[in-house]
Amino acid sequence: MPWEDSDVVRGLDALRRLVAQALLGERPALAGAPGIVLTEALAGDRAQAGTGSGGGYDDADLAASSEEDAAERTRLIALVELARKGDADAFGLLYDHYQPSVYRFLFYRTRSGTLAEDLTSETFFRALRSMTNFRWQGKDFGAWLMTIARNLATDHFKAGRTRLELTTEDMALHDDATEGPESTVLAGLTNEILLKALTELPSEQRDCLVMRFLQGMSIAETAEILGRSDGAVKQLQLRGVRNLAKLMPEGLRD
């Protein structure tokens, strides 16, 4: 389950710390707590590499991947090039690589495993249908998929087909002992409370926090998907954390 992902656990721990700081009246740090894999250095590591393939496309010089491993970047870019020429096997390999991150985003966006599965399937169906029209824009193929997923989730709730589900049966508490002035607040700030409060945020703030903390995306990657500047994403994150603090139960507030 998404909850068991160690990166998600670290992300939630970092988000809990920022909310605790906000509850105590401290200014939350924009980059998150130490140890979380959400560094701005990721933005500088977004290597770009052309595939050199033809096929009627003239944008190969803009091909990019945010993968840290150079060989994996080259593999994924090559798969995208094949897939947009109609190679079904290549698209299947792209599905294998990106499906977990798309599902995880949708799970925390909708709080429903069944709905997340349906929207994930629809995301890849739409991507497959549009592959021949895909163009590199100097950003990761995964960002394009995440944009499709986000739009589907937004449309789903706008259409009023269902209310946001707050099921928590797949969650387990992760409240390791912590040190520091906020430890008392952290003891009462469970992940269940935090995730429920996330669903009450304005959609753009919620998406920003999910991408930054539960997806582990950098400021630059989040900005690409949201269509915002890096500075705007930083402000969204700050406002999101502060609004989360306001949504906490009275007993946790300073």
Lowest-confidence segment of 172-176, 187-191, 224-228 by average pLDDT = 172-176
**Residue 225: pLDDT over 60:** yes
Q: Please state the domain extents for the chain.
A: 1-37+165-254, 40-142
User: Residue 187 corresponds to which amino acid?
Assistant: A
Residues whose CB falls within 8 Å of the CB of residue 242, separated by 6 or more in sequence, listed in order: 22, 28
Closest listed residue to residue 156, CA positions, set 123, 192, 202: 123
Q: What mean pLDDT, rounded, does the chain reach?
A: 75
| One-letter amino acid for residue 136 of the chain | W
Mean of pLDDT values over 21-39 = 51
What's the token pair of residue 104? 């995880």
Nearest in space to 173 (alpha carbons), one of 197, 149, 194? 194
Would you identify the CATH topology of the domain 1-37+165-254? Arc Repressor Mutant, subunit A (1.10.10)
- Into which CATH architecture does domain 40-142 fall? Orthogonal Bundle (1.10)
Alpha carbon distance 6, 87 (integer Å):
34
Structure confidence at residue 68 (pLDDT): 81
Residue with more model confidence, 242 or 50: 242
Query: Residue 164: is its pLDDT beyond 80?
Result: no
Q: What global pTM score does this model have? A: 0.56
Q: Which two structure tokens, joined as six digits, stand for 229?
A: 């500047």
Q: Which residues of 51-77 are buried (b: 16+ CB within 10 A; e: fewer)?
A: beeeeebeebeebbbbbeeeeebbebb
How many C-alpha atoms does 55 have within 13 Å on its Cβ side?
Answer: 19
pLDDT of residue 30: 52
Q: What is the pLDDT of residue 43?
A: 28
Q: Which segments of the chain are extended strands (E)?
A: none
